[in-house]
Amino acid sequence: MRIATWNVNSIRARAARATAFLERSGTDVLAMQETKCTPAQFPAEAFEEAGYHVAVHGLNQWNGVAVASRHPILRVHDHFPGQPAFGDPAVVEARALGVVIDVSGALEGAPGSPAPAELTVWSLYVPNGRELDHPHYAYKLEWLAALRAQARGWLDADPAALVALVGDWNVAPQDQDVWDMAAFEGATHVSAPEREAFAAFAEDGWIEATRARTTNYTYWDYQRLRFPKNEGMRIDFAYASPALEARITSARIDRDERKGKGASDHVPVILDVR
């Protein structure tokens, strides 16, 4: 089966592109970020007509996460336990959606055991951070640390679980993940604390599944001809539980989705799972 993650930058502006992507790519489960709408505003019909179930979380015009799945959705979490709040008044924003999917019959059985019945996909939109001295940056680090603590518990509770932590991590973990490190002097996304917060997941056993399998940027700013000049960033990633990692056969970044009129500034990141 095929799993993808994509920061769509408004699903209302991108619904036709999204369903076209699903059809073109053969994606079974799509995690979306920055849907920028409430559930009532979400174009669920477009996905349902294409044969997908949807789970949606959104509070207003900012953030927003969703999952579309060809397989039945069993359970939905609209935040993770301990997810930090932000703002005045502080609000737990729509940045994490955990969806448990019935994948019975869709994946291979391991030797001596039946095929797995459930896959959990978390669609994550990590806070941007804005500036290194902005409260949003501290919020970003808290958010990543809180997610790490929860996610470690998920692995401990069930080492055989198939879990994917996918989305827009808003961190460029390595220097080659931006086109020019000099352009990011003093900026967010490349700072040591952010990179350490991202790398910490690997210390707990999560495996970032795209790094070893594909190379490309996943984001190009709309401004200053960043895409024509290929001045991008690699900030969308997929951390897999060990049991899921063992089933991943390939990964791909759909750079072509950035082309043409009406593109999101991010492109889909795709995993094939057996």
As annotated, the binding site for Mg(2+) includes 7, 34, 168, 170, 265-266
- Binding of DNA at residue 28 (CB under 7 A)? no
How far apart are the C-alpha atoms of 236 and 195, rounded to whole Å? Answer: 13
Active site annotation includes 219 = no
Put the strands of the sheet holding 53-57 in their side by side order.
Answer: 53-57, 65-69, 29-33, 2-7, 269-273, 248-253
- C-beta closer to DNA: residue 125 or 154: 125
In whole angstroms, the minimum distance from the beta carbon of 5 to DNA comes to 13
Q: Name the catalytic one among 52, 125, 217, 219.
A: 125
Which H or E run includes 23? helix 11-25
How far apart are the C-alpha atoms of 260 and 3, rounded to whole Å? Answer: 24
- Binding of DNA at residue 23 (CB under 7 A)? no
Closest by Cα among 213, 274, 271 to 29: 271
In whole angstroms, the minimum distance from the beta carbon of 145 to DNA comes to 18
Annotated binding site: 7, 34, 168, 170, 265-266
Residues sharing a CB contact under 8 Å with residue 32, sequence separation 6 or more, in sequence order: 5, 6, 7, 8, 11, 18, 65, 66, 67, 68, 123
How far apart are the C-alpha atoms of 41 and 59, rounded to whole Å? Answer: 11
Site for DNA in 245-264 (CB under 7 A): 262
Residue 210, SS3?
A: coil
Bond before 89 cis per omega within 30 degrees = yes
Active site annotation includes 266 = yes
One of 24, 48, 108, 130 touching DNA (CB under 7 A): 130
Residue 243, SS3?
A: helix
Site for DNA in 193-252 (CB under 7 A): 219, 221-225, 233, 235
- C-beta closer to DNA: residue 123 or 241: 123
- C-beta closer to DNA: residue 86 or 205: 86
One of 47, 55, 121, 168 touching DNA (CB under 7 A): 168
Q: How far apart are the first and last CA of the chain?
A: 6
How far apart are the C-alpha atoms of 250 and 93, rounded to whole Å? Answer: 32
# residues contacting DNA (CB under 7 A): 31
In whole angstroms, the minimum distance from the beta carbon of 60 to DNA comes to 7
- Binding of DNA at residue 36 (CB under 7 A)? yes
Q: Name the catalytic one among 28, 168, 177, 254.
A: 168
Active site annotation includes 77 = no
Site for DNA in 69-108 (CB under 7 A): none
Helices 135-157, 192-203: inter-axial angle, 10-degree rounding: 10
Residues labelled as active-site residues:
125, 168, 266
Residues at the interface with DNA (CB under 7 A): 7, 9-10, 12-13, 34, 36-37, 60-63, 127-128, 130, 136, 168, 170, 188-189, 219, 221-225, 233, 235, 262, 265-266
